[in-house]
Structure 1
Amino acid sequence: MDSIFKALADPARRTLLDALRQRDGQTLQELTELLDMTRFGVMKHLGVLEDAELVVTKKEGRFKYHYLNALPLQQTIDRWIEPMLAKPAARAVLTLKATLERTNTMTKPDFMMQTFIRCTQDALWDALTDPGSMAAYHFMCDRVEGEAREGGELTWLLPDGNKMLSQRPTKVTPKTRIEATFEPHFFGPDAPGSKMAFIIEPQGPFCKLTIEHYDIPAGQEGVSEGWARLAASLKSWLETGTAMKAPM
């Protein structure tokens, strides 16, 4: 937590985070143009943000893309807010029909988040594929139906029975990677779908979980907060047995 406060203390680093919040996936050159300093100076600031896990990167060819990782901030806030929440607040949502007309080719993600969870690879895989487990830690839904297999379909249901989200796994590498569609039923009756991926990497007693979201349509940028809440609740559930069902 000290590294987070240190990273946020510098106005230049806050400028970089603001820029990534407005447009994720920027290169070093793009970020350098925002600050009156050398390329090396910007690299040093980005290094501090990466050390605090507030920025994560993905390399594609010659370019390295930078993404705001909101999860550490969410966990810091929840440290004080969560004890004051008696129960999740119900949110009224519409039952919507999602459409998906995109290819399965995954290139540069629009959104990326990483967290480290003290658990086994098997435990994390089960949490991401077992409908009962998904419902246990999801911050809004209390039931998930379907199967997390290629060709299957998963549906997240709100307490009132309405659909919140549907996903169709398109590529599943056991215990390592899940690629799926992302079909939100909360952005409008004609809301387009997108694509996402979970990547699991064992690292000693921890597992690194990376969440990537591709082809996010305009107007759906708010999914980043949902991912932060989901990841925070998943981490708490696996490490302590208690989910953090903080309402949006």
Structure 2
Amino acid sequence: MATVDAVFKALADPTRRLLLDRLREQNGQTLNELCARLEMARQSVTQHLDVLRAANLVAVVRRGRERVHYLNPGPIHEIEQRWIASFDRPRLLALSAIKSQAEEQALSTIPNYVYVTYIRASAEQVWQALTDADLTARYWGHANISDWQPGSTWEHRRVDGTDKVDVVGKVLETAPPTRLVVTFEDSLEARDPSVVTFLVEPHEDIVRLTVTHENLPNHEMLAGISRGWPAVLANLKSLLETGDVLPQAPWEMSDAHA
């Protein structure tokens, strides 16, 4: 599990910051794609990526024989939460919104979103937390309902008494307890659905949970899930490690400081 010291050490090197900038501009690149934009030996780029991965700033997802690198915002988000005071957030968010709007006007593609977290639990426990309706209701405020077989549908149903379904989709792949792939449809608009992949990798007493959200339709959805996934997964981590969710719903914190 990456420490704050490892994160700051990784960020101290200008080449590693450049690699993160390259992934911010175009997330999901192979080693060859990253090397093509840097005047550096392939071995040196690999070494820098290993440091970034050890600090949990870069996540690697296998696509066939290739390894695709994604920027993982988790550690930077945790640093922001620790050192930016609540009274600073409205001003900083306003400045960020202006900058983001200018950048979005220059972008023609929507990057995939990848988030990595480490949980002290077994792969079977994480799988159950992802697929059990009662458990998802506890840490998400929605019950994820399905038989989780390939081709089956799934529903993301509120548990506030309304039974409203906010997200629907189809199960594309299921390989308990390590891999689940579903479509994610949160709109009535006619468009190709986005796709969410949950990858559970066990190692001794912990697992690495990687959530990849692909085929996003617009930057508005990217911004929404960039706030939503860290909050939901923090609640999931708390539930599995302590037996209870966080004292307050973490997704409400963003709204309170907006």
Taking structure 1 as the reference length, the TM-score comes to 0.73
Match of 1:47 in 2: 50
Choose from 171, 174, 184 the match for 1:182: 184
Gaps of 5+ in 2: 88-110
More helix by share: 2
Q: Match of 1:15, SS? A: helix
8 Å Cα contact 2:146-2:154 kept in structure 1? yes
Residues 192-211 of structure 1: pairs in structure 2 closer than 5 A:
192-211=192-211
Residues 107-126 of structure 1: pairs in structure 2 closer than 5 A:
110-126=112-128
How far apart, CA to CA, are the structure 2 residues paired with 1:159 and 1:15?
45
How far apart, CA to CA, are the structure 2 residues paired with 1:45 and 1:18?
13
Q: Indicate how the Cα distance of structure 1 residues 145 and 197 shifts in structure 2: closer, same or farther if over 3 A, else same.
A: closer
Mapped pair 1:216 → 2:221:
no
Mapped pair 1:149 → 2:154:
no
1:26, CA displacement in angstroms? 1.0
Mapped pair 1:17 → 2:20:
yes
Aligned AA for 1:25?
Answer: G
1:24, CA displacement in angstroms? 1.2
Mapped pair 1:245 → 2:246:
no
Aligned AA for 2:60?
Answer: T
Q: Indicate how the Cα distance of structure 1 residues 160 and 83 shifts in structure 2: closer, same or farther if over 3 A, else same.
A: farther
Match of 1:68 in 2: 71
1:48, CA displacement in angstroms? 1.2
Q: Match of 1:172, SS? A: strand
Match of 2:170 in 1: 168
Q: Match of 2:27, SS? A: coil
8 Å Cα contact 2:122-2:207 kept in structure 1? yes
Taking structure 2 as the reference length, the TM-score comes to 0.71
How far apart, CA to CA, are the structure 2 residues paired with 1:82 and 1:181?
37
Q: Match of 1:53, SS? A: coil
Aligned AA for 2:17?
Answer: R
1:206-225 deviations in whole A, cap 9, x for unaligned? 12222233333343433344
Q: Match of 2:116, SS? A: strand
Equivalent pairs counted in the alignment come to 219
Asked which structure has the greater RCO (Cα within 8 Å, sep 6+), the reply is: 1
Q: Match of 2:202, SS? A: strand
